Amino acid sequence: MAESKKTTAKLRCIGCGATPDSAGQDFRCATCGDLLEFFFPGWLSESPDPAALKSLWLNRRTSYDVLDQSGVWRFRELLPHIPEEHAITLREGNTPLYRLPGCARAIGVENLRAKHQGMNPTASFKDTGMTIAASSARQGEFRWVACASTGNTSASMAAYAARGNMLSLVLIPEGQISWGKLSQSLDYGALTCQLRTDFDGCVRILNDLVRLKPVYLLNSVNPYRIEGQKTAAIELLEQLRWEPPDHIIVPGGNLGNSSAIGKALLEMHELKLISRLPKLSIIQAQGANPFYRSVREFGGKKLESMTADTLATAIRIGNPASWKKALRALQATGGEVEEVSEVEIATSKAEIGADGIGCEPASAVTLAGLKKLRRSGFVKPGDAVVLILTGHILKDPDFTIKFHRGDLFDGTTDPASAAETKSLQRAPVVLDADLGAVIAALDTAERSSERSL
């Protein structure tokens, strides 16, 4: 398979512009403390030929080479170079792009699709960043890797550490992550510490720990994570035959993913792989909305941290690390921010499910946000829209079962809104083992489906 030249990547501080040769253990600028990012100086003088890159990447889809089979490493010309012998891959990426016809009809947009990042090896989008960042840990000969997590980063990190013969330390908030995610990090052999705090408290402890112990930080402040996660957008554009959609909509938690997708869009535009920029919009849960408030109340000038609370536990984050990177992506692409309620999230999740696509609650904020953006006129009926679904439905079956049984909003202060979800609930029917009883249930279901047509 033809290879193009190795990419030269350099680090740069997003705050003061310093360009250190290497990053410290906390991946923050030694001068001003802001986040670091990769940039590619060679692109300014000798941009790669866009048509040649597109055909190189497409050809790799028929290759049996392990790196070519990864939907991340396949795009390695746009990533920092890591020698092949250090690469840890589970054949991540290569995720499907689905149409959502039922949701599209209900909302009044003609062209609605979902890129399902939950179809990655550990069932969330984190794998695309983790394959690159875990490989960089192996290249640096680290014995321990670590992260603070709401459950998906930890599941992904534990898997890639195990594949790369490294030990992993997970810090998660006790009682605030789903069992599905916790079970993954246990099975993949991580040292899993449930701390009596929230996600933001776990981050604080980990930041102190990496200064004292030789552990490699794998949260999304690690710029290798962002680089790997860029490939979701590159692969999306390839799937759209390089015809950009009008809107891409992502959930916002710690804001690494929106930063990565935004960075990819800007780089693809700079490299003339795409001719115009899609608008990148970021949606948060109302109870965990520090970025939404930063943009709407303070024009992005500052971010006030908060104590976050939402049933979408993946995005229960009150002090997002990458908010400045995400802000830049939002502004450069002309996107919007929105916040959505718990009922709106649960409703949207069931509506995506009714199109035959399962996702976890945090992913469903995208559809809930789209409805608001459609109502405000920011999204037009003829616009092409892509939702990024970040996690698989089986990550959090508890949420789904409670929703369908009608107990998700027990004790709510707003029972009227919760009641609006009733028509979407499909509670299991418990019957005697009797043919007549099953036929009666079938007939009842048939009559109610006729009524809803």
Residue type, 434: D
Options 128, 135, 254, 348; binder of ligand F0G; rule CB under 6 A: 254
Q: Does 220 bind ligand F0G (CB under 6 A)?
A: yes
Options 48, 164, 173, 252; binder of ligand F0G; rule CB under 6 A: 252
Looking from the CA of 155 toward its CB, the CA atoms found within 13 Å total 25
- Contacting range for ligand F0G; rule: CB under 6 A; set: 101-109, 256-264, 379-387, 399-407: 256-264
- Contacting range for ligand F0G; rule: CB under 6 A; set: 6-14, 145-153, 334-342, 406-414: 145-153
Neighbouring residues of 431: CB distance < 8 A, sequence distance ≥ 6: 437, 438, 441
- In what order do the strands lie in the sheet containing 191-195? 191-195, 167-173, 144-148, 215-217
Q: Does 337 bind ligand F0G (CB under 6 A)?
A: no
The least CB distance from residue 310 to ligand F0G, in Å, is 11
The least CB distance from residue 317 to ligand F0G, in Å, is 6
Residues 299-318 that bind ligand F0G (CB under 6 A): 314-315
- Contacting range for ligand F0G; rule: CB under 6 A; set: 137-145, 183-191, 248-256, 262-270: 248-256
Residues 146-165 that bind ligand F0G (CB under 6 A): 149-153
Question: Pick from 203, 192, 254: which is nearest to 229 by CA?
Answer: 254
Residues 5-44 that bind ligand F0G (CB under 6 A): none
- C-alpha 305/C-alpha 302 separation (Å) is 10
Q: Does 256 bind ligand F0G (CB under 6 A)?
A: yes
Judged by beta carbon, residue 348 or residue 363, the one nearer ligand F0G is 363
CA 85 to chain centre: 27
Compose the 349-388 pattern: x for residues touching ligand F0G by CB under 6 A, - for all others.
Answer: -----------x-xx-------------------------
Count of residues touching ligand F0G (by CB under 6 A): 23
Judged by beta carbon, residue 68 or residue 168, the one nearer ligand F0G is 168
Q: Does 284 bind ligand F0G (CB under 6 A)?
A: no
Judged by beta carbon, residue 77 or residue 184, the one nearer ligand F0G is 184
Partnered with residue 281 across adjacent β-strands are: 249
- Contacting range for ligand F0G; rule: CB under 6 A; set: 3-11, 39-47, 246-254, 429-437: 246-254
The least CB distance from residue 319 to ligand F0G, in Å, is 12
Q: Does 124 bind ligand F0G (CB under 6 A)?
A: yes
Judged by beta carbon, residue 268 or residue 389, the one nearer ligand F0G is 389
Q: Does 222 bind ligand F0G (CB under 6 A)?
A: no
Question: Pick from 416, 325, 338, 320: which is nearest to 374 by CA?
Answer: 338
Judged by beta carbon, residue 135 or residue 149, the one nearer ligand F0G is 149
Q: Does 78 bind ligand F0G (CB under 6 A)?
A: no
Compose the 86-115 pattern: x for residues touching ligand F0G by CB under 6 A, - for all others.
Answer: ------------------------------
The least CB distance from residue 176 to ligand F0G, in Å, is 11
Compose the 224-243 pattern: x for residues touching ligand F0G by CB under 6 A, - for all others.
Answer: --------------------
The least CB distance from residue 73 to ligand F0G, in Å, is 21
Q: Structure tokens of 318?
A: 């009150």
Judged by beta carbon, residue 174 or residue 446, the one nearer ligand F0G is 174
Options 257, 294, 366, 421; binder of ligand F0G; rule CB under 6 A: 257
Options 119, 255, 268, 330; binder of ligand F0G; rule CB under 6 A: 255
- C-alpha 97/C-alpha 334 separation (Å) is 23
The least CB distance from residue 106 to ligand F0G, in Å, is 22
- Kindly list the residues in this chain that would bind ligand F0G in the complex (CB under 6 A): 124, 126, 149-153, 220, 251-258, 314-315, 360, 362-363, 390-391
